[in-house]
A = this chain, B = another copy of it.
Amino acid sequence: MIKHLAIVGATGAVGREVCTLLDERNIAFDALSLLASTRGAGTRIPVGRTERVVREISDGAFQGVDYAIFSAGGQQSKRWAPIATDAGTVVIDNSSAYRMDPAVPLAIPEVNPGDLTGHQGIIANPNCSTIIMNVAVWPLHRVNPVRRMVVSTYQSASGAGASAMEELETQTADHLAGREVVPNVFPHPIAFNLFSHNTPIGPDGYNTEERKMVDETRKIFHEPEMLITATCIRVPVLRAHSESINLTFESPITPSEVRAILSSATGIKIVDDVGGGRFPMPIDASGQDDVLVGRIRQDISQQDGRGIEMFIAGDQLRKGAALNAIQILELLTL
């Protein structure tokens, strides 16, 4: 079905995960181009049983390419996506460059697959924290509309790329050895520390990551006025994001109803073993496709029975990025 697939930013943490998923999900294609900047060109990346050599991206690189997955950051997407679409390539873009463009669908296959219809060459993959939250909240929202969300995130280093994951490990080793910890990728030490997500803060006091969670959810849910607030925090975890989510529904709802709804939803695994003391944890979510949901309970601070608390964890590189993009590709090429 796919003649020629291109992966832009193939050497990054998300690009490599895309390559892993191509094989895992048996994505069929006649040709595959792994593209990156000058720096990444020449790198060998495993795709299934073979290794492929990354080529430098260029004006001619998209000739004959019908689909491309971009994971090279917003600036690269703005530069190369128009060149790709001009060449007739359908672009699935992991960056934030086009997400809020009204002409660009922002899609999570479990939530709004219908939005893919009528795309104009670019489809945006949402922010990782947004995807993970939306997969867990959407099935509930369909049954009993969510009126307000209060979310606090526990975001892993992988969200800032492979070099950030490496920095977490290097800094931690330095800290344990009593050596000075020198931040490089992150602005603050990440070893045994956490900090407010280091994206710019707007006039309303929210940082860009928090704004993405608010604005993208509104777009994906088709609820432009939805009441959402978020606090985004980076924690010393390698690759899965966790989120503490407080919900207010239109009508009263019970934890059993929430469990029943989420049990039959796709992309979700309930991990809520009170007896065994097992709830969503990033190490369990890592490498998994499903978003783990647990600590489901009635919010005792909402006395009208409309409040639910839950805690979730999802692999930032998989469902938060690469897997969602691959799922979009699958829907487009069905």
Q: Is the CB of A282 within 8 A of B194?
A: yes
B-side contacts of A283, CB under 8 Å: 188-189, 192-193
| 27-53 of chain A: CB within 8 A of chain B | none
A173 nearest CB neighbor, chain B only: B176
* Count of chain copies: 2
Interface of A is mostly: mixed
Query: Nearest Cβ in chain B — how far from A272, in angstroms?
Result: 9
Number of residues in A with C-beta < 8 Å to the partner?
57
Q: Is the CB of B192 within 8 A of A237?
A: yes
Is the CB of A332 closer than 8 A to any CB of chain B? Answer: no
Is the CB of A309 closer than 8 A to any CB of chain B? Answer: yes
A165 nearest CB neighbor, chain B only: B192
Q: Is the CB of B194 within 8 A of A235?
A: yes
What's the Cα separation between A237 and B189 when bound, in Å? 12
B-side contacts of A297, CB under 8 Å: 204-206
Q: Is the CB of A204 within 8 A of B300?
A: yes
B-side contacts of A196, CB under 8 Å: 279-280, 294-295, 311
15 extra interface residue pairs, beta carbon distance < 8 Å, beyond A154-B233, A193-B237, A193-B282: A149-B301, A150-B246, A173-B176, A189-B283, A192-B237, A194-B237, A196-B294, A205-B274, A227-B301, A227-B303, A229-B300, A229-B307, A229-B309, A235-B236, A244-B244
Interface residues, chain A, with chain B CB atoms under 8 Å away: 148-150, 152, 154, 168-169, 172-173, 176, 187-189, 192-196, 198, 201, 204-206, 214, 227-229, 231, 233, 235-238, 242, 244, 246, 255, 274, 277, 279-283, 294-303, 307, 309, 311
